[in-house]
Amino acid sequence: QVQVVESGGGLVQPGGSLRLSCSVSGIIFSIYAIGWYRQAPGKQRELVGSITSGGSTDYVDSVKGRFTISRDNAKNTVYLQMNSLKPEDTAVYYCNAEQGWFDTIPWNWGQGTQVTVSS
């Protein structure tokens, strides 16, 4: 029932920017806390940052000051604005439901969107 589409990835030079989108259907979107995850080759999937139903955000130390998460409930979409990109940001990026005040259930991992930072 839940359909998730991650998009916006691509090839970018170090120092460049990208904006990723996570569009979700089949849920009451406004009550969900949502996180952005990434998985680099040879590494485990890690939580990059999250946004609550109220719009509060949190980030892993390695991306603080560079990445910004926002949401547009009217579009059922969460965004990840990525600035000052580094080669170590190269990964497949995914979104999923996070722990919050409401009893929401994570969905199966989608296809993700590839971000490659290289000169």
Distance CA(91)–CA(40), nearest Å, equals: 4
Do the beta carbons of residue 34 and residue 95 sit within 8 Å?
Answer: yes
CA dihedral 37, 88, 58, 97 (to 10 degrees): 0
Strand bridging mode 18-25 / 33-39: unpaired
Q: For residue 95, name the pLDDT band (cuts at 50, 70, 90).
A: very high
* Residue in this structure with the two tokens 């009451």, named with its chain if needed: 28
Query: For residue 30, is pLDDT > 90?
Result: yes
Query: For residue 55, is pLDDT > 90?
Result: yes
pLDDT value for 108: 95
Distance CA(16)–CA(27), nearest Å, equals: 33
Q: In this structure, what DSSP letter does residue 101 have?
A: S
Distance CA(61)–CA(47), nearest Å, equals: 11
